[in-house]
Amino acid sequence: MHPINKKFFGTEGIAVKFFNGTATVSGYIVKQLGTDRFVVSDGVHTVTAYLVDTYALATSLGESSIVAPPDGNTTSGAYQMTIPVPFSSPTGYVRHIYDTQIDVFNSSNVLTRESWSLNTASDGTVALLSYQTVYDAANAPVYSAGTHGGPTTMTFATAPVSASHGTSHAVVVATSPVAPSSYTAELYLTTSATVLPTTGGIVNSSYADGNFGFTLSYPSVGTYYAFVTLSDTSYLVSSALVIS
């Protein structure tokens, strides 16, 4: 069996989980030392770790006093790591990894050999997730109304209640309590007061006196609501805007 291609290392490569000395974190491979030993990093801590061999250890990573510390570690126990395989339920974990195949154990610690690919399973392979995919999923904003200690309401400080569609308008959004100038605001026009939009947002072009400035064009005659999402991952929604 051949070692892993180096293109699968780094932040664009395979996602791993490892104990960084304090907590279990997601990370990526820096260097391969064997089929079950790697130098791994979470961008802050870089350690040498080994793939564990039981489901119980895989779901509760830490340090081990049973095995000798991998080369490069100065702790009394070896750092533990695993590579999740999300194709099964519950998730399986990698015991050994080669260039095209992996040994995977499940919750009963039954070992099977599978072919693997990154992110997308094809030609009978199972998908391992990339670090970037895992990172993006973990850091995707989860919006909720007026949470995280941020503003709870918004009003239009300057915005016509009735305005011609198809014409650009400068509008100012006031938040209460006032959002700090370090925040970024993004405004969405939508016909629903309850469904948070995900596309078509307009990033604020100005911030003055505690208010966010936008330039927008109402797409057509109708009733709209303005959602404003903030960088604290909360959202605010206006009352109905009737556009003639």
> Domain boundaries in the chain?
6-138, 144-243
Predicted pLDDT at 99? 92
DSSP-derived secondary structure for 140-159: S---EET-TTS--EEEEEE-
Which H helix or E strand runs over 56? helix 55-58
Structure tokens at 123: 């030609």
Residues of the chain with pLDDT under 50: none
pLDDT tens track for 27-85: 999 999 988 999 999 998 899 999 999 999 999 999 887 777 666 665 667 899 999 99
Closest residue by Cα to residue 91 from 104, 79, 81, 102: 104
Predicted pLDDT at 82? 96
Q: In what side-by-side order are the strands of the sheet with 101-105?
A: 84-85, 92-97, 101-105, 111-118, 126-128
Classify residue 213 as exposed, middle or buried by CB count within 10 Å of its CB (0-12, 13-18, 19+).
middle
Contact assessment for residue 18 and residue 79, using Cβ atoms and an 8 Å cutoff? yes
Distance CA 39, CA 46 (A): 7
* Cα-Cα-Cα-Cα dihedral sign, residues 36, 105, 6, 115: positive
Predicted pLDDT at 24? 92
Backbone region of residue 131 per phi and psi (left: phi > 0; alpha: psi in -120 to 50; beta: other values): alpha
Q: In this structure, which amino acid lies at residue 47?
A: V
Q: What CATH number does the domain located at 144-243 have? A: 2.60.40.10
Residue where the block lists tokens 């995280």 = 148
Predicted pLDDT at 130? 92
pTM exceeds 0.85: no
Contact assessment for residue 224 and residue 190, using Cβ atoms and an 8 Å cutoff? yes
